[in-house]
Amino acid sequence: MLTETDFQRIFKNFGKIIYINKLVNGRVGNDGEDLDPPQPGALHEYKTAAMGAVDQAVSGDAQDWIAYLKMAKPLADSINTTVTNLTNLASQADGFVDAYLKSAVALELGLGTNANAQAVAAELADQMDGTATVAPSGTAVGEPYTNVDGIWAYFFERFGVSLPVSNTPSIPDEYITSEVQA
């Protein structure tokens, strides 16, 4: 049986992946504060700036064609490639969560690595019961909470799993950060 410390270690890793997902989806600001509703974020701003450079270069005189070819078009192409890669990062982060659940967490829970991610998440919740809790978030236990993007909400939205909650959780939502947790 896993201890509270084991669960905390596991969720510190989940916190990093959830944070990346929130960043990419405009659900957390540069200062780490949750954004509700989600904002377009930096990715939208980069695309807007790139298109502004293209629009500027093609809206003027014939001489601006050189600016378009040498500066605006390569810049816009580079930004669009980067934005596309970052946009794909959200679904990749979900894949990383699945891989972590199926490879590392499944073994700690006594399951085989062939178990699907949803089954591992459900077993994780079952084994946490009475040992470790997360903060209520999203619509935990049927109520809307101000923190819509916490650990509970992520697991419920992603796997349909309700983790044990407490207003004094042993696994705080502060694990959702880029900061290394001791």
Q: pLDDT digit string (tens) for 41-67? A: 666 677 777 777 777 777 766 666 777
Please determine, for residue 16, whether its predicted confidence score (pLDDT) is greater than 60: yes
pLDDT in the model for residue 146: 53
Q: Find all residues with CB under 8 Å of 14, minimum gap 6, and list them.
A: 97, 100, 151, 154, 175
CA 169 to chain centroid: 21
Chain mean pLDDT for the chain: 80
Quick check: 110 pLDDT over 80? yes
pLDDT at 30: 55
Question: What separation in angstroms does the CA of 99 have from each of 72, 90, 131, 136, 180?
Answer: 40, 14, 24, 25, 21
Span 95-103, average pLDDT: 89
Three-state DSSP at 124 gives: helix
Q: How far is CA 56 from CA 43, 49, 51, 72, 122, in A?
A: 20, 10, 8, 9, 53
Instruction: Please name the helix (run of DSSP H) or strand (run of DSSP E) that holds residue 111, with its range, or none.
Output: none
